[in-house]
Structure 1
Amino acid sequence: MNPNLSDWDDDLPPEPEEAYQDLLRALRRKSGFGLFFVQCTPVEADKFIVKLPQEIPQKKVEVLRFVESIDNLYQRVAEFVKDKQVDILLIKGLEYSLYKYEKRSFGEITEGQFSNLTSVPHILNHLNQQRERFRDDFPISFVFLLRSFSINYFIHRAPDFFDWRSGVFELPTTPEVVEQESNRLLLERDYEEYLKLTPEQKIEKVIEIQDLLTEKYQPENQKPRLLFELGNLLLTVNEYEAAIASYDQALKLKPDKHEAWNNRGVALGKLVRYEEAIASYDQVLKLKPDYHLAWNNRGIALDKLVRNEEAIASYDQALNFKPDAHQAWNNRGIALNKLVRNEEAIASYDQALKLKPDYYEAWFNKACCYALQGNIEQALENLQQAINLNPDKYREMAKTDSDFDGIREEERFQALIQ
């Protein structure tokens, strides 16, 4: 007698297309109030928004989108549905109300991870308290289009509201969608732009990358690029240990990714682990001997260890491969100044200023050299140039120690990474 295989099938998750059809059937049958939670990426959500009215033409479908944090969904819904016939209301973008509460351990690439158990986001507290009003006032099927981490928030921080769910569904994805989402993130990458993002926007991008890394259709050859990008984002939020962990994962998959070795060195340097940073830069230079950024960064780490002659030699190598690297000329001047080779230091700053005349750091450093020589007139002239170019920064720079470490720290870090 053959075993009943259907009993085994009951324990298996539904196939993606089957789950989608289950959702459609549930929405067709549902009349009046209902809560549906749909796990999906933003791209999948947009496709679903277009497709659903075609699949269920007998129902009136509306979409309520959010692109910023909200605290009161009831009021937004009441205003939106006023004087409208709505059977199904799709809600997209509720994540924006959760990002500022997300205190995740960034270094772990774990699907559905969240860690803030000490407070309830305002929007979820509101939903818990107002669930009866939603039921009594809105005879509508609410469909929340959410990322996996958002659904975890509902489960753990809005249990009263979530318990009334009519179902939780995961939209099917495809290799094409995963590739599209990954390429979008990678094409958007720009470290300077990352620095301008709000903390919530940075968290959003981190979560997007972490979700993509766990996608079953994510090709192995794409993962090193995503992990590298994740590391760069983590640098911008000062999560240096997590950034190193991300670079290490990228390098396990692609040991010859020299940019990851370089940025790993930067993160180590921010943790004052200069010897390890130098070892990381040395790995870069084994792979790409002409990589001027690594030579410059290596010089900075050597300088921090008061190995000034070696630092100068490293800056010279950077300039050998990229003579117009104004940061390297400036850093070389700083190392020369520490060796009390002031004339050479001034000449190095002059080279930086030929390349970038508005480089206020070099004007300030040059002023300090003249002051140390007792040439007060020249010191004041150069100091005035620095003040004219950046009066606010000058006040901060004027408070730094005489060894100039504070002067160049921010400028250096901006130029350090790939």
Structure 2
Amino acid sequence: MLEQLRQNRSVFLEQNQEEFAELLTFIDFAQGLTIGFIEINQEPDKATLVAALREHLAESDVELAVLNFSQEKNLRFLREALIERINRIKTRPTDRKLVLLIQGLEVAIGSDGVGAYPPILQDLNFVRDAYRQSVAYPLLFVLPDYAITRISKYAPDFWAWQSGVFRFKTSQQSLEQLKVEAFDRPLAHIASTENEAQIEQLKQLLMELRPSGQTILPQNLKPCSELYYKIGSAYLTQQQPEKARDYLQEGLRLLERNRDSDLYQSLYRRLGNVYEKMRQFDQAITAYEEALKIARSQNHSEMVKVILSDLAEVALEQRKFDQARMFYQQSLEIAKSQKDFFAQASTYHNLGNVALEMREHGQAKDYYQKALQIKIDYDDRYTQASTYHQLGNVAVEMREYEQAINYYQKALQIKIDYGDRYSQGSTYHQLGIVVQKILKYEQAKHYYQQALKIFNEYNDRFSQAQTGYQFGNLLLELQDYEQAKKYYQQALQIFIEYSDYFFQARAYQNLGIIALKLQDYEQAKKYYQQALQIFSKYNDRYSQASVYGQLGVLTESMGEYQGAKVYYQQALQIFSKYNDRYSQAPIYNQLGLLTEAEGNPAEARNYLQQALEICFEFGDNRGITSVQEQIDRLSS
């Protein structure tokens, strides 16, 4: 291995003799602020160059200071950072000419051939003139191809001052080795530092096969498209969908003339995954349908099966439950015909998701247990985590809270064992919900904070909003209305941004509850009507019930008893239709209070007795105490 490394270094220097000589001449003549760029794509070659420069300059009047910024991903103000480093260097007495060789800035600039305007380059362009006085030394920026291109594009004023660009070529031997590693290495399916390193390796190869400003060679079209696919897929795993989208779209552009290829289909399918992650569901459907059309034209049943599941997932996100179930059933039939047990497990799991959303809890549990058994039989431990997580969700809905905690803990442990930090966030979120239901508020707060920390690490704003909304529920329960209101409003803005109408309605509804608690009746009514309008528009009949219940409380608080009774009866009718007996208890309780206020104690007692029976049925001790006290008061 060491011998191979020495040979690669020797070949690199021999191949770039002329460029190296020109660089030495540049260093020799540079005085004051003189800017040069050294283009090197491969990390080992950068180390080789630095070692060679040190060796050649050892006996000269030049002091070469190597400044490495590879750990400063969020660096924005380069001039200030250089001044700080220079001040440290100047403490050493020397009469030699100081030359600064700057490495690692690509982490802040970006080495993507696609993407947004990096903040560091905005500042670099803006404060260019200040460098003459404050950084009056020769500056050599060692960067890969695409990072240099980004400087020329986004910091043109600074770029105009460069006095030389030295392009060092990668040896053919190193290039072939990089190709083997990049194309043969499977992509990671968990966000990790290893995955980040793989992205950088893939980008290094892409720069070699598609240098900036050069026409791509015909033989490199497909390899480059495959690299765009791999990089896009890896960025999606890293929870960076915008970057993933840019790479996948570039891959599609390269393959425009060969639309029937498997790779073209894969690019479209992955682009659908990206749009789905970004909650841009119409674009996701368009991408999936394009991929499905190609798969069907090629009789590629394996991909047809996968893409049908993708379309089902989008339908589920859009709360089109019948459509989601249809797509999953079609996918399941193909999986059964292929005796693909892993795909069957995945589809049973997803059918469980549909049943859970439709409040068919027994059916959901059956599907999840079928999925789990297959995963256990085939020793697929990692994916068992998602099914344990969903079984936890079913247990919560069935008010089996200890069982739910057990399932969530199993899911969390698997995710920890496999280093899947991002997915841990959703399980911490659910653990927060379930312990909040059993009144362990401090523990709930801890779990929500854990979830928020993870989602913040991955810049997943939508999941942050969901957990922030749930944190608002906790604060509402603790009667900290102002803080709860703040969390709901922050979450609402993100839900609006991501066009998630269901969560917008939930946020409006809870803002209505706060307004009611603060006796701002007109504002409460406005919020409830906004929530009801959304639930009605999307035919979410079940969610309308809780809003009708709250409108009943509001109307009763305003002394309009008949109107309140109509709302309560509407809520009861819906909860009964969906067999949600537990949610009927607070409505019966409110009807009891209302009829008592109307002067009908016998009718009030009847309603309260029905509420009490339900509380006993579900073991709701807090509800039992509250309702029993009201019955006792009526009897006294």
Shorter-chain TM-score tier: 0.5 to 0.7
Q: What corresponds to 1:266 in structure 2? A: 273
- Cα deviation for residue 353 of structure 1 reads 3.3
Q: What corresponds to 1:4 in structure 2? A: none
- Cα deviation for residue 228 of structure 1 reads 0.7
Q: Partner amino acid for 1:255? A: S
- Pair 1:174–1:132, CA change in 2 (3 A): same
- Pair 1:333–1:165, CA change in 2 (3 A): closer
Q: SS state of the match for residue 193, structure 1?
A: coil
The answer to which structure has the higher helix fraction is 2
1:163, 1:68 → 2: CA distance? 27
Q: What corresponds to 2:207 in structure 1? A: 211
Specify which of 103, 109, 113 is matched with residue 92 of structure 1: 103
1:35, 1:284 → 2: CA distance? 52
- Cα deviation for residue 226 of structure 1 reads 0.6
8 Å contact 2:361–2:394 — kept in the other structure?
A: no
- Cα deviation for residue 115 of structure 1 reads 4.4
Q: What corresponds to 2:68 in structure 1? A: 65
8 Å contact 1:38–1:145 — kept in the other structure?
A: yes
- Pair 1:317–1:126, CA change in 2 (3 A): same
Query: Which shifted more, 382-391 or 219-228?
Result: 382-391
2:261, 2:202 → 1: CA distance? 23
CA deviation vs aligned residue, 1:146-179 (integer Å, no higher than 9, x gap):
2345445655776776666442332234444444
Q: What corresponds to 2:135 in structure 1? A: 134
1:249, 1:182 → 2: CA distance? 22
8 Å contact 1:295–1:317 — kept in the other structure?
A: no
Specify which of 256, 259, 272 is matched with residue 262 of structure 2: 256
Query: Greater RCO between the two (CA within 8 Å, min separation 6)?
Result: 1
The yes-or-no answer on 1:277 pairing with 2:288 is yes
- Pair 1:49–1:317, CA change in 2 (3 A): same
Matches within 5 A, 1:364-379: 364-367=392-395, 376=398, 379=400
Q: Partner amino acid for 2:190? A: E
- Pair 1:290–1:172, CA change in 2 (3 A): closer
Larger Rg: 2
Q: What corresponds to 1:172 in structure 2? A: 169
CA deviation vs aligned residue, 1:114-142 (integer Å, no higher than 9, x gap):
746x985456656642422433xx5xx43
The yes-or-no answer on 1:226 pairing with 2:227 is yes
Q: Partner amino acid for 1:263? A: R
- Pair 1:94–1:340, CA change in 2 (3 A): closer
Q: SS state of the match for residue 63, structure 1?
A: strand
The yes-or-no answer on 1:78 pairing with 2:87 is yes
Specify which of 322, 334, 354 is matched with residue 340 of structure 2: 322
8 Å contact 1:36–1:165 — kept in the other structure?
A: yes
- The percentage of aligned residue pairs carrying the same residue is 16
The yes-or-no answer on 1:362 pairing with 2:390 is yes
Q: Report how many aligned residue pairs link the two structures.
A: 367
CA deviation vs aligned residue, 1:181-200 (integer Å, no higher than 9, x gap):
555655484242369989xx
Q: What corresponds to 1:242 in structure 2? A: 246
Task: Give ranges in structure 2 of 5+ residues lacking alignment.
Answer: 1-14, 376-380, 411-426, 434-465, 471-501, 504-539, 543-636
Question: TM-score, normalised on structure 2?
Answer: 0.47
- Cα deviation for residue 75 of structure 1 reads 1.9
Query: Which shifted more, 254-263 or 208-217?
Result: 208-217
8 Å contact 2:231–2:247 — kept in the other structure?
A: yes
CA deviation vs aligned residue, 1:219-272 (integer Å, no higher than 9, x gap):
525213211123224544232753552342465568123643532342354532
8 Å contact 1:228–1:260 — kept in the other structure?
A: yes
CA deviation vs aligned residue, 1:4-47 (integer Å, no higher than 9, x gap):
xxxxxxxxxxx976554433333344567643222332434333
1:115, 1:130 → 2: CA distance? 21
1:151, 1:96 → 2: CA distance? 12
- Cα deviation for residue 332 of structure 1 reads 1.8
8 Å contact 2:268–2:287 — kept in the other structure?
A: no
Specify which of 370, 390, 393 is matched with residue 351 of structure 1: 370
1:176, 1:131 → 2: CA distance? 42
8 Å contact 1:261–1:281 — kept in the other structure?
A: no
Specify which of 423, 430, 434 is matched with residue 393 of structure 1: 430
- Pair 1:125–1:242, CA change in 2 (3 A): closer
Question: TM-score, normalised on structure 1?
Answer: 0.66
Q: RMSD of the alignment, in Å?
A: 4.6
2:51, 2:331 → 1: CA distance? 57
Q: SS state of the match for residue 192, structure 1?
A: coil
Q: Partner amino acid for 1:39? A: E
Task: Give ranges in structure 1 of 5+ residues lacking alignment.
Answer: 1-14, 107-113, 405-418
8 Å contact 2:226–2:251 — kept in the other structure?
A: no
Query: Which shifted more, 322-331 or 26-35?
Result: 26-35
Q: Partner amino acid for 2:164? A: G
Q: SS state of the match for residue 395, structure 2?
A: helix
- Pair 1:103–1:251, CA change in 2 (3 A): closer
